[in-house]
Chains A and B, each alone.
Chain A
Amino acid sequence: MHGVGLMKVLFGNARLIPSAVAVCDVYANSGGTCKELCNNPYIYQVIRNYAFKSDLKIKWVRPPKIPSIKPEKSGDLVPLPPVDKKQYPLEFQNSEELKTADELVKRVFTLEFFPRRHSFRIVKCNMMNSVRRHALDMGSSESKIAQMTADIRNMQQIMEQFPKDKRRKVKLKELIERRKKWLKYLRIWDYRRFEWLLEELGLVYKPPPSKFHWITRKDSLRKLTDKHCEEVKQQRLHAYRASLEAQQVDFLRTKVQKLQWIRKEEEECGVKPTVTEKDIEQALKQLKELELSKENRLKDKAD
């Protein structure tokens, strides 16, 4: 091989360095000689395998990090509904004594004067009631998921107020993951129930990506470059197609003329014509169809 011979001149019988071999091969294939290579001090700057910078003006915007506990990441589309503060807490709702009590006592027993968790208990109960199978259903997957969803949304609200609450953050994250696991199970157990539950609770389910990787500048730029190249390729293909289609009408017109001329000449010379009337008719038909479709397209554009 020319390249390997060159290497021997350069380095004697030293070990062959693969990248250096590649450089020499490229150089030898381009018609250069050993002397030129030795005299040219910039040869290693021509091929830059590493530290390569693309000329394309692609700007990469790193996606902002969204914490896993945020609703947009956990898949919660709707927040917890507001509670009517004028009702009693769950344990006093059926109380006989409250019905006959004094107005002031009644007011003191409303949710206004109770801690937050009492209001949340009502919301959670409502949420479970909307999906559960029967009044005592606590263990079916839909009521479990509804329970977790209520807890998650409650904790998300609290986390907004107290962002430094690390214990709650961990609990919340684990709960979100557990709900996701249950949704995954429910999907393969009973697909229609799964879809109905997503609608009822206002959840979004996205499967995990097949492979985890960190987002890096290099990798993202590679993907963007690939995308750009694909777009350029498609653009050029479309342009080429358009240019070919623009020639079709003229081509068919000349084709018809030439076919007619050939047929006429052959008939005049007394030879059996190689071009039939059918061929000419077919070409004419094609031409008419093309012109029609072109007119239609122009009309559509004008509209």
Chain B
Amino acid sequence: MALTKTSKALMLLGQCVPSVKQNASKIRVKRLVLDEKLLMYFGEFEYYYAYDPGKICKTGDMVLIQQLPEKLTRLITHKVLEVVYPCGDITDPITGKEVVVGKYRDEIEEASKLFGESEGRFKYDKAPKRGWQEDKKDFTHRETYIKYHVFENDDQPYAV
């Protein structure tokens, strides 16, 4: 009953979760549902597949999706409009400065300048874009599973 309400909404804000689809992203949308007996709201998740041929959103990004006028496939019902908050790369909407948790990035840099910057520290201007460690050292773009079998010609990178 309540489920139909969100799917009728024009645009939805959700988080991208790992999926193996080639031209689409899996988006998790949270909605608060009222429990009439407890008179309390509880979060519930709905999953949508959004058409995303350029793969603009990555796992963990908060994205805006819009319903397609027609279903593209049995699963793909939405399309990705834009990435609102890229995961781990947040810009404060009020000041327009980049932030890390509770601090501005330039303030962090200034603080380390006061103490004397070290040579091997992380530099934002020289760091490559997100995704260069995918499938090498960072395996968060795919869902992992518990290893259940030893395959001969497969080292199973996504097995834990």
Q: Count contacts on A: residues with CB < 8 A to the other chain.
A: 45
The reply to whether A192 and B139 contact each other, CB–CB distance below 8 Å, is no
Known contacts A61-B150, A215-B146, A219-B148; is-contact A135 B140 (Cβ 8 Å): no
Q: Which of A190, A195, A204, A220 sits near B148, CB closer than 8 Å? A: A220
A195 and B126 CA atoms in complex are apart in Å by 13
| Neighbouring B residues of A63 by C-beta, 8 Å | 147-150
Contacts of A88 in B (CB 8 A): none
Chain B residues near A203 (CB-CB < 8 A): 137
A76 to B48, CA, bound (A): 36
Bound Cα distance from A130 to B118, whole angstroms: 8
Distance in angstroms from B141 CB to nearest chain A CB is: 9
Residue contact B137 to A133, C-beta cutoff 8 Å: no
- Nearest chain A CB to B154 CB, angstrom units: 11
Say whether, besides A189-B101, A195-B133, A132 and B149 are in contact (CB < 8 Å): no
B42 within 8 A of A: no
* B133: A residues at CB distance < 8 A: 195, 198-199
Which of the residues B118, B144, B148 comes within 8 Å of A223, measured between beta carbons? Answer: B148
**B87 A188 Cβ-Cβ under 8 A:** yes
Chain B nearest CB from A217 CB (Å) reads 10
| Chain A proximity mask over B77-118: 1 for CB below 8 Å, otherwise 0 | 000000000111100000000001100000010011001111
Partner of A192, one of B60, B89, B149: B89
Q: Is the CB of A196 within 8 A of B118?
A: no
Interface string of A201-219 (1 = CB under 8 A from B): 0011111111011010001
Q: Are A206 and B139 in contact (CB under 8 A)?
A: yes
Q: Which of A60, A188, A220 contacts B88 (CB 8 A)?
A: A188
A193 within 8 A of B: yes
Are the C-beta atoms of B150 and A133 separated by less than 8 Å? no
Q: Does B46 contact A (CB under 8 A)?
A: no
Q: Give the chain A neighbours of B112 by CB distance below 8 A.
A: 133-134, 137
With the chains together, A52 CA to B22 CA distance in Å?
A: 37
| Contacts of B119-144 to chain A: CB distance below 8 A | 120-122, 124, 127-130, 132-133, 137-140, 143-144
Does A14 reach chain B (CB closer than 8 Å)?
no
**Which B residues touch A142, using CB under 8 A?**
122
A110 CB–B CB distance under 8 Å: no
Task: Determine whether A129 belongs to the interface, using a CB cutoff of 8 Å to chain B.
Answer: yes
Contact of B137 among A205, A207, A212 (CB under 8 A): A205
